[in-house]
Amino acid sequence: MPELPEVETVRRGLRRALVGAAVSSVQIFEPRLRWPVPSAQLHALVGARLLEIERRSKYLLFRFDRGTLLAHLGMTGSFTVTDEHITPPRRKHDHVEFQFERALCVRYHDPRRFGSMHWMEGDIHPLLDALGPEPLSDAFDGNVLHAALRNRAAPIKSALMDNHVVVGVGNIYANEALFRAGIHPNRAAKSLSLTRCIRLADEVKKILAEAIAAGGSTLRDFVNSAGEPGYFQQSYFVYGRADAPCKICAEGTKNTQNPKTRTILTMRHNGRATFYCPKCQR
């Protein structure tokens, strides 16, 4: 389930392999992604040279000399590159294939088809219009976060996952950042002091940077552009650890007196699983 670190990991791998190469062929096996793929524009990429691959939020922007391909991985999407001079056998759920010069083969694979591809002329696209600040940029910090939460009565967990507040923070890293910042996921967003917003923004930046350094997280199906998993899931404090002892406050205790207070609990926010430690998070 790619969040910002996973998309960034894919971007870096694709970028190293592909920038400077020209497209030699395009095949669309399944155009029905979240929205129909722009078939005509994709086929018209034959002969186009890839100049750069950028990222905005969880979107990948493939900059070609004749326009930009915008792609989102949704929940289960992956781009992988092979250069074996033999086209690998097509797997189930391989939906789009780009052949580049130097025998590079790029496959888009997406079992659930929540991902999407769009064609963009210039820098304008409706899907990018209303996005909030990039969490790893100077446009996002504790002051910005505090201001964005001013009128938000919703739980901080929900607000943190709202793309208008900050982009790229999905369910996993929202849970983990709140734990690291010591903030209860149910706390009303607007009730957070500036001090706590500074702490939270800092933890968001740190966890995303750490996850990128670890090559992202692989819970089920995430793979980078070389088909390899990430390793950051080993660093989770709360996500997926329901009923397990808190790694911080239950550490070294026999956990006999009042085990409930040192155990990771779950609740739901907007249909998504929330994990938290009731002792460490207030």
Partner DNA sequence: CTTTGCACCTGTTGGC
Partner DNA sequence: TGCCAACAGGTGCAAA
Size of the site for DNA (CB under 7 A): 40
Q: Which residues, in sequence order, are CB contacts of 234 under 8 Å at separation 6+?
A: none
Residue of 2, 5, 133, 135 marked active site:
2
172 binds DNA per the rule CB under 7 A: yes
CB atoms within 10 A of CB 121: 10
273 binds DNA per the rule CB under 7 A: yes
User: Residue 13 Cβ, how far from DNA at the closest point, in Å?
Assistant: 19
CA–CA separation, 250 and 193 (whole Å): 28
Pick 104 or 171: Cβ nearer DNA: 171
Spatial contact of 189 and 149, defined as CB atoms under 8 Å apart: yes
Q: Which of residues 74-133 bind DNA (CB under 7 A)?
A: 74-76, 92-93, 111-114, 126-127
User: Residue 269 Cβ, how far from DNA at the closest point, in Å?
Assistant: 8
71 binds DNA per the rule CB under 7 A: no
Q: Report the relative pairing of strands 67-72 and 50-56 from DSSP bridges.
A: unpaired
Q: What is the 3-state secondary structure (H, E, C) of 176-193?
A: HHHHHHCCCCCCEHHHCC
164 binds DNA per the rule CB under 7 A: yes
CA–CA separation, 84 and 151 (whole Å): 54
User: Residue 125 Cβ, how far from DNA at the closest point, in Å?
Assistant: 10
3 binds DNA per the rule CB under 7 A: yes
Among 40, 124, 137, 151, binds DNA (CB under 7 A): 151
28 binds DNA per the rule CB under 7 A: no
3 is an active site residue = yes
Q: Which of residues 186-205 bind DNA (CB under 7 A)?
A: 189
- Residues 102-106: contacts with CB within 8 Å, 24+ apart? 102/21, 104/17, 104/18, 104/21, 105/81, 106/14, 106/18, 106/79, 106/80, 106/81
Q: Residue 278 burial by CB count (10 A; 0-12/13-18/19+): exposed, middle or buried? A: middle
260 is an active site residue = no
| Widest distance between CA atoms in the chain | 69
Pick 48 or 231: Cβ nearer DNA: 231
Among 154, 198, 214, 248, binds DNA (CB under 7 A): 154
Structure token pair of residue 201? 């923004």
| Residues forming a β-bridge with 69 | 62, 119
Among 89, 122, 252, 271, binds DNA (CB under 7 A): 271
Break the chain down into helix, strand, coil percent, rounded to 5: 30, 25, 50
16 binds DNA per the rule CB under 7 A: no
Instruction: Name the segment binding DNA (CB under 7 A); options: 45-53, 62-70, 192-200, 264-272.
Output: 264-272
Catalytic residue list: 2-3, 58, 272
Contact positions vs DNA (CB under 7 A): 1-3, 32, 34, 57-59, 72, 74-76, 92-93, 111-114, 126-127, 151-155, 158-159, 161, 163-164, 170-172, 189, 220, 239, 270-273
